[in-house]
Structure 1
Amino acid sequence: MVIDTQTLLLAQGAVVAICGVAFILNNILRRNDKVGRTWSIAFVTGILTALAYAVWSVVPGAWWANAIGNAGVVLSLGTMWSGCRQYNDRSSTIGVVLAGTGVVALAALLPGPEGGDWAGSWAEFVAASVFAGLAGVESMRFRMRRSVTARMLAVVFWGVGGYFALRTVVFLIDGETGPVFLGYFGTIPTTFVSIALVTLAAVSMSVLTTNRAARGALDLASADGPRLPGVLSASQFDQHAEAWLFRAQRDRDPLVLLLVDIANLDHMNTAFGRSYGDEAIRAVARICVSTLPSAAIVGHRGGKSFAILTTAPAVGDAVAVAERLYTALVESPIDPVEGIRAAAACGIASTRASGYAYGVLQSQAAAALASAIEAGSGAIRLADPATSASPQ
């Protein structure tokens, strides 16, 4: 069976319209933020592009529609890149996108009707290759690189960028009527590439915008103070811990340092996305604050690691604190719908065995945590000063 160009372009239009409308509705219903708006512009442009190419294929003399389609391809890929930049909290650089789109439109319009079907196409191919490549690079940077979905999207962008780069080279060497160009990089092959791009991009971007809208970026603490009451930043925890250890040494009060690692955080990030993992960290922070003794200080050391300093007259008391925390984590689902719970490993170092030097206490608690992580989630290990390494 042979598919003619008109039929294929109409099919492309239908696919683009369905995917675009689905993405826009998903974005409106969940949260219409700047990233969703920019990516929505990309899909609206894609719909108009498909319509322009359809008009070009069925209306004799509609050479101007081809120019609109060429510019639309570039604007669509460019706004996808802009949305990726906004996702990473960077400027959209929409001016660059509009400038590139304008150049492509002029390259197709200036030759007029005598320019033929491929007038200015080289400009479209180059711009599309550049913007797709930039979108792939941006998808692997900053916040987006944390998401498996974004990494998959980067592969899609790079595939499209590579295709248009090869299309440019073959077009310049083989010509618009060459067998290689028409067979592998002409309208029909490119239509299939466009359908694949739109479908995969719609799915990936829907997942990314849903994660972004459902849960904001994690920021438990800032340099000015904790955003979540009772949780200190790493630097704040270090300062409080050193001050408390100094007073405790003076008064001979025993303290213990607990280092907690969320053992299944990486699995949650992979299965449900980075935003779900961020919510897991927030949930663990809340459980620590509500479960631990009132005299304890809690710090988020970054990533999936927490630090806790508290009083413990006996070693058994420190273990009991860790066990109580583990029980609270098991009994408190992160998301009542999914029912998933955080699993933790814990390393403990006490001033009775390790002394009051914060660096030594921290190093030995870290060694105990490493042993607990190796043993598996739920493991609690006490530091052994005889085998733990001292800080260099």
Structure 2
Amino acid sequence: MLDPIAGLSAGVVLTIGAVAMLNVAMTSKTRLMQAWSLMYVSAILSAVASAFIVWIEKDSLLQIVPNVAAVGTVGGLWCGCLAFNSRRPRIVVVGVFLLITAVVTAVELPQSGQWAGASVTMAAVILLAIVSARESVRGDLATLVNGRVIAIVCWMGAAWTTARLVAFVVAGPGSPVFDANFNPTRTVIVALVAYIAVAFTTAMLAAGRTGRGTLRGTAAPTFSMGVLDWAAFVPGARDRIARVRSHGEHSAVSVVQINGLEEINVTYGAGFADETIRTLADFLRDHLYPTTIIGHRGGGRFVLVGIPSDQQDTERRALELLDALVGVTVSDKKGFRLAVSVGISDSFVVEHTFDALYDAARSACTRAQVAGGSRVETSPARGA
């Protein structure tokens, strides 16, 4: 039995933490921090419910809390991964999962007691863990070790929960098999280990994304180097593409990534790496059409949104940009050539939304980097 004083102290600490995270979520202006802060709140509520479960009556509506918190934790993780990859967080979808979990738990309470809603909760956790794992190896997360850590934790969590669900449905919660391998105590331990791993991982990802230190991170000012930072760029890009689409014209998105920026940082220093980014920003502003929107994603990645005149226009402009870069120098440093990889997509062959066009251009840019850089790659659909 949990010591009352220890339990109360733990509850107070966790509650204060939940309130702090909720405050961050409600005051943050970024979807990423909102989603992951809500994930932290759900995880803390899950921990609180686990600590006080022995004091909760088996037919009490408070039994809904641990189920909803478990689903909310994984759902918040998924939404955060989507936001990190510049995709729209599916808050409504997660809300539906939470509502179904709460309703089913409430309905089953009189007959099932502490096991009310268990099967639905586990099914929801499995589905959300799988989509979180898949999202964590896409987009920007695909290039980061922490993204792979999230994927591993989610796949392991999905596998564990699937085995637990099968044992629950086939053998029942009172069976020796379920009690020996998937009892509540062991499940709480597994969940808390997963929560801790994901919490540290997402905290590092969020810190890197929202860092304000240098141009190699996400640009801090709304208008830095004459280009928009990511938070300001994305809404404007979405609006521009929506307006272009409504007028029956086409849009194009290009991703321009400086090759070997980390090596530049190590070899020449952080100051020179930042100057390299500024040089590319100036070059893009000077050479691109004035109607092109330019955004800085961070890490030496620039994203361009323009209006192509035909299906070859975007690729033609990208090749011209590469040719013009040959004569560009950084701080008059002899022997140093500013090299970039370019990925392009347009609405002639890709869905006419910013998210779809950006994903296609980003994938094309990654292929250009893998192929050695200093080249232009088109979206898969276009190259087919």
Same fold (TM over 0.5): yes
Q: Aligned runs of 1:200-215 on 2, under 5 Å?
A: 200-214=197-211
Tell me which of 136, 139, 143 is aligned to 2:136: 139
Counterpart-to-counterpart distance in 1, 2:54 and 2:21: 27
Counterpart residue identity of residue 131, structure 1? L
Structure 1 position 100, deviation (Å):
0.9
Instruction: Provide structure 1 residue ranges, at least 5 long, that are not aligned to the other structure.
Output: 219-225, 229-259, 270-275, 312-320, 328-343, 348-369, 371-392
Q: Which residue number corresponds to residue 87 of structure 1? A: 84
Q: Which residue number corresponds to residue 74 of structure 2? A: 77
Q: Deviations over 1:311-350 (max 9, x none)?
A: 9xxxxxxxxx7995258xxxxxxxxxxxxxxxx6789xxx
Structure 1 position 127, deviation (Å):
0.3
Tell me which of 278, 285, 302 is aligned to 2:277: 285
Q: Aligned runs of 1:293-372 on 2, under 5 Å?
A: 308-310=325-327, 324-325=332-333
Counterpart-to-counterpart distance in 2, 1:146 and 1:12: 41
Counterpart residue identity of residue 145, structure 1? A
Q: Deviations over 1:286-329 (max 9, x none)?
A: 35799x9xxx989x9x9799763449xxxxxxxxx7995258xx
1:267/1:17 Cα in 2 relative to 1: closer, same or farther (>3 Å)?
Answer: farther
Q: Which residue number corresponds to residue 67 of structure 1? A: 64
Counterpart-to-counterpart distance in 2, 1:265 and 1:135: 28
Structure 1 position 22, deviation (Å):
11
Q: Which residue number corresponds to residue 193 of structure 1? A: 190
Q: Aligned runs of 1:83-162 on 2, under 5 Å?
A: 83-162=80-159
1:11/1:264 Cα in 2 relative to 1: closer, same or farther (>3 Å)?
Answer: farther
Counterpart-to-counterpart distance in 1, 2:9 and 2:142: 30
Matched residue SS, 1:325 = coil
Q: Which residue number corresponds to residue 170 of structure 1? A: 167
1:140/1:53 Cα in 2 relative to 1: closer, same or farther (>3 Å)?
Answer: same
Structure 1 position 207, deviation (Å):
1.1
Structure 1 position 15, deviation (Å):
12
Contact 1:16 1:43 in 2 (8 A): no
Counterpart residue identity of residue 206, structure 1? A
Counterpart-to-counterpart distance in 2, 1:135 and 1:71: 17
Contact 1:53 1:66 in 2 (8 A): no
Matched, 1:184 2:181: yes
Which structure: larger Rg? 1
Counterpart-to-counterpart distance in 1, 2:265 and 2:175: 51
Matched residue SS, 2:114 = coil
Q: Which residue number corresponds to residue 246 of structure 2? A: none
1:6/1:136 Cα in 2 relative to 1: closer, same or farther (>3 Å)?
Answer: farther
Q: Which residue number corresponds to residue 52 of structure 1? A: 49
Q: Which residue number corresponds to residue 244 of structure 1? A: none
Q: Which residue number corresponds to residue 379 of structure 1? A: none
Contact 2:78 2:129 in 1 (8 A): yes
Counterpart-to-counterpart distance in 1, 2:135 and 2:141: 8
Contact 1:77 1:131 in 2 (8 A): yes
Structure 1 position 16, deviation (Å):
9.3
1:131/1:181 Cα in 2 relative to 1: closer, same or farther (>3 Å)?
Answer: same
TM-score, normalised via structure 1 length: 0.55
Counterpart residue identity of residue 79, structure 1? G
Counterpart residue identity of residue 325, structure 2? I
Contact 1:87 1:143 in 2 (8 A): yes
Provide the aligned C-alpha RMSD in A: 4.6
Q: Which residue number corresponds to residue 355 of structure 2? A: none
Contact 1:136 1:153 in 2 (8 A): yes
Counterpart-to-counterpart distance in 1, 2:11 and 2:333: 54
Structure 1 position 70, deviation (Å):
0.7
Counterpart-to-counterpart distance in 1, 2:183 and 2:154: 19
Matched residue SS, 1:177 = coil
Contact 2:125 2:161 in 1 (8 A): yes
Q: Deviations over 1:242-284 (max 9, x none)?
A: xxxxxxxxxxxxxxxxxx9855626979xxxxxx99x986531
Percent identity at matched positions? 22
Q: Deviations over 1:174-232 (max 9, x none)?
A: 210122212221211111112112211111111111111125658xxxxxxx849xxxx
Q: Which residue number corresponds to residue 337 of structure 1? A: none
Matched residue SS, 2:139 = coil
Counterpart-to-counterpart distance in 2, 1:264 and 1:105: 48
1:99/1:52 Cα in 2 relative to 1: closer, same or farther (>3 Å)?
Answer: same
Matched, 1:17 2:14: yes
Structure 1 position 17, deviation (Å):
3.1
Counterpart-to-counterpart distance in 1, 2:11 and 2:272: 40
Counterpart-to-counterpart distance in 2, 1:48 and 1:113: 23
Structure 1 position 34, deviation (Å):
1.6
Instruction: Provide structure 2 residue ranges, at least 5 long, that are not aligned to the other structure.
Output: 220-225, 229-256, 289-295, 303-320, 340-371, 373-384
Q: Which residue number corresponds to residue 235 of structure 2? A: none
Matched residue SS, 2:138 = coil
Q: Deviations over 1:7-48 (max 9, x none)?
A: 9x95996799399569949968x9652210111111112222
Q: Which residue number corresponds to residue 351 of structure 2? A: none
Structure 1 position 136, deviation (Å):
1.1
Q: Deviations over 1:349-378 (max 9, x none)?
A: xxxxxxxxxxxxxxxxxxxxx8xxxxxxxx
Matched residue SS, 1:156 = helix
TM-score, normalised via structure 2 length: 0.56
Counterpart residue identity of residue 152, structure 2? V
